């Protein structure tokens, strides 16, 4: 991958990194209610994608942008915050290789 001039991170990659950071902040908040809402939203979104109650391992695969098992194509992406995070995770890991 070729990075733009002046040694700057491309804006799309920077936006993806910001999405990941924001999600981490929500999941590690000092406010227990924020953590509870973030976790329940994540669990709900994973369940919608895989059509079964998610385990911790499946949630981890989801956040790591797995394309295997239950997440193999044709994986239907939805327009929600955790799907955005999933894509951002995939794009940042894919760009760094």
| Rounded distance between C-alpha atoms, residue 47 and residue 21, angstroms | 23
List of long-range contacts for 41-49, beta carbons under 8 Å, 24+ apart = 41/80, 41/81, 41/82, 42/82, 45/78, 45/80, 45/81, 45/82, 45/83, 46/82, 48/78, 49/75, 49/76, 49/78
pTM for this entry: 0.65
Residue 87 lies in a domain: yes
Domain tally, the chain: 1
Residue 7 lies in a domain: no
Instruction: Report whether pLDDT(13) > 90.
Output: no
At 89 the pLDDT is 62
pLDDT in tens, 53-97: 999 999 988 888 888 888 877 655 555 666 666 666 665 555 554
At 82 the pLDDT is 64
Residue span of the structural domain in which 63 resides: 30-95
- Return the top range by mean pLDDT from 2-6, 15-19, 88-92: 15-19
* C-alpha dihedral (80, 9, 65, 67), degrees to nearest 10: 120
Residue 18 lies in a domain: no
Q: How confident is the model at residue 19 (pLDDT cuts 50, 70, 90)?
A: confident
Residue 57 lies in a domain: yes
Residue range 13-19: mean pLDDT, rounded? 84
Residue 83 lies in a domain: yes
pLDDT in tens, 20-55: 888 889 999 999 999 999 999 889 988 988 889 999
């Amino acid at each position: 991958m070729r990075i733009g001039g002046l040694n700057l991170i491309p804006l799309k990659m920077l936006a993806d990194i910001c999405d990941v950071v924001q999600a981490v902040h929500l999941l590690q908040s000092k406010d227990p209610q924020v953590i509870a809402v973030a976790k329940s939203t994540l669990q709900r979104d994973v369940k919608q994608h895989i059509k079964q109650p998610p385990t911790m391992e499946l949630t981890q695969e989801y956040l790591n942008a797995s394309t295997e098992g239950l997440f193999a194509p044709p994986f239907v992406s939805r327009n929600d915050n955790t799907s955005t995070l999933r894509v951002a995770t995939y794009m940042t890991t894919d760009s760094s290789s």
